[in-house]
Chain A
Amino acid sequence: MCRRSLGLMALMTAALLAGVATLVDLPTGIARLAGALALVLILPGYSLTKLLPVRLQALRWARFVFTIGLSLAADVLGGLVLNLTPWGIGREGLVIWLCSVTLMAGGVVLVRPQAGSRVASPDLSFSLRGAALLVAATVAATMAVALAHWGATQVSSPDTTQLWLLANNQAGAGGVRLGVRNLETTARSYQLAVVSGDKVLFEWRSITLSPSEIWQVDLDIPADEARSPTVEARLYVAHSDAAYRHAVLWRSLPSSGSPPSLLGIQRFEPSERK
Chain B
Amino acid sequence: MRDVLHHGDTEARRNPVVLAATDPSFQRGIRFHSDPSLSAKSKKPPCLRASVVRPRKSCQLSHESLGWLPAIALIVACSLVVVAIADLAARNGQAWAEPVFWIGLLGIYLPVALRLVSPAVGRQEGLGLVVALGLSLYLVKVLYSPLVFSFPDEFMHWRTANDIGLSGRLFLRNPLLPVSAVYPGQEIVTSALATLSGSSIFHAGLVVVGAARLLLLVALYATYELLSRSPRVAGIAVVIYMANPNYLFFGAGFDYESVALPAATIFVLVLLCRQEATGSARWRLTAVALAVLGLTVTTHHLTSYLLSGFLLVWLLGNRLVCRDKGKGPGAIAIVAPLVSLLWLVTVGSTVIGYLAPHVLSTLGELASLVAGESGAGRQLFQSTTGYVAPLWERLTAIGSAGLVVAALPPGLFLVWRRYRDHALALTLAVTALVYPASLALRFTGRGWEMGNRLSAFVFIGIAFVAALTVVALLQSRPSAIRTSLVGLSIALMFTGGVIGGWPPQWRLPASHLQNAEVARDDPEAIAAALWARDFLGPDNHVAAEAVPMAVMGSYGRQDIETTLSGGVDARWIILSPGVGQGEMRQLRRGQVEYIVVDRRLGSQGSGSSSYYPGVPRSTALAKFDGLGQTSRVFDSGNLQIYDVRQLVAAGEDASVP
Contact = CB atoms under 8 A, between A and B. Distances in A.
Contact of A151 (B88, B212, B273): B88
B195 A94 contact: yes
Nearest to B199: A33
Interface in B149-187: 164, 167-171, 184-185
B652 interface: no
A164 B642 CA distance: 11
Contacts of A138: 77
B80 A160 contact: no
Contacts of A36: 193, 196-199
B23 A54 contact: yes
Interface centre among A73, A87, A124 (most CB of B within 10 A): A73
A194 interface: no
B66 A124 contact: yes
A140 B263 contact: no
Contacts of A88: 167-169
A186 interface: no
Nearest to B530: A270
B527 A160 contact: yes
A85 to B, nearest CB: 10
Given A89-B164, A144-B81, A76 B188 contact: yes
Contacts of A68: 211-212, 214-215
B390 to A, nearest CB: 25
B631 A41 contact: no
B632 A246 contact: yes
A61 B259 contact: no
Interface in B23-72: 23-26, 55, 58, 61-66, 69-71
Interface string A94-105: 110000000000
Interface in B126-159: 127, 132, 136, 139, 142-147
B635 A89 contact: no
Interface string B270-307: 00010001000100110010011011001100000000
A148 B195 contact: no
A173 interface: no
Contact of A148 (B63, B146, B284): B146
Given A61-B222, A119-B55, A122-B63, A76 B185 contact: yes
A65 B198 contact: no
Contact of A52 (B196, B285, B631): B285
A58 interface: yes
Interface string A48-70: 10011111101101101110111
Contact of B288 (A52, A141, A151): A52
A126 B259 CA distance: 33
Given A61-B221, A160-B637, A152 B509 contact: yes
Nearest to B167: A88
Given A36-B197, A164-B531, A117 B64 contact: no
Contact of A40 (B55, B139, B196, B534): B196
Contacts of B526: 158
A65 B631 CA distance: 56
Interface residues of B, number: 116
Interface stretch (B14-22, B318-326, B447-455): B14-22
Nearest to A134: B70
A74 B189 CA distance: 9
Contacts of A91: 195-196
B20 A55 contact: yes
A79 B192 contact: yes
B395 interface: no
B527 A158 contact: yes
B298 A80 contact: yes
A144 B91 contact: no
B523 A158 contact: yes
Contact of B637 (A37, A79, A245): A245
A252 interface: yes
Contacts of A245: 635-637
B85 interface: yes
B191 A53 contact: no
A120 interface: yes
Nearest to A163: B635
A33 B124 contact: no
Contacts of B25: 53, 115-116
Nearest to B291: A73
A157 B523 contact: yes
A76 B299 contact: yes
Contacts of B21: 53, 55-56
Nearest to B627: A250
B170 A83 contact: yes
B127 A116 contact: no
B559 interface: no
30 contacts: A29-B198, A40-B196, A52-B284, A53-B20, A53-B25, A54-B26, A56-B273, A69-B295, A70-B288, A76-B189, A79-B170, A79-B188, A89-B164, A89-B188, A119-B55, A123-B61, A123-B62, A131-B70, A132-B70, A144-B84, A147-B81, A152-B521, A161-B637, A162-B528, A165-B632, A179-B535, A246-B632, A249-B631, A249-B633, A250-B630
Interface of A: 22, 29, 32-33, 35-37, 39-41, 48, 51-56, 58-59, 61-62, 64-66, 68-70, 72-80, 82-83, 87-91, 94-95, 115-117, 119-126, 129-134, 136-141, 143-145, 147-149, 151-166, 179, 181, 183, 230, 244-250, 252, 270, 273
Interface of B: 18-26, 55, 58, 61-66, 69-71, 73-74, 76-78, 80-81, 83-85, 87-88, 91, 124, 127, 132, 136, 139, 142-147, 164, 167-171, 184-185, 188-189, 191-193, 195-199, 207-208, 211-212, 214-215, 218-219, 221-222, 259, 262-263, 266, 269, 273, 277, 281, 284-285, 288, 291-292, 294-295, 298-299, 509, 511-512, 521, 523-524, 526-528, 531, 534-536, 625, 628-638, 643, 646
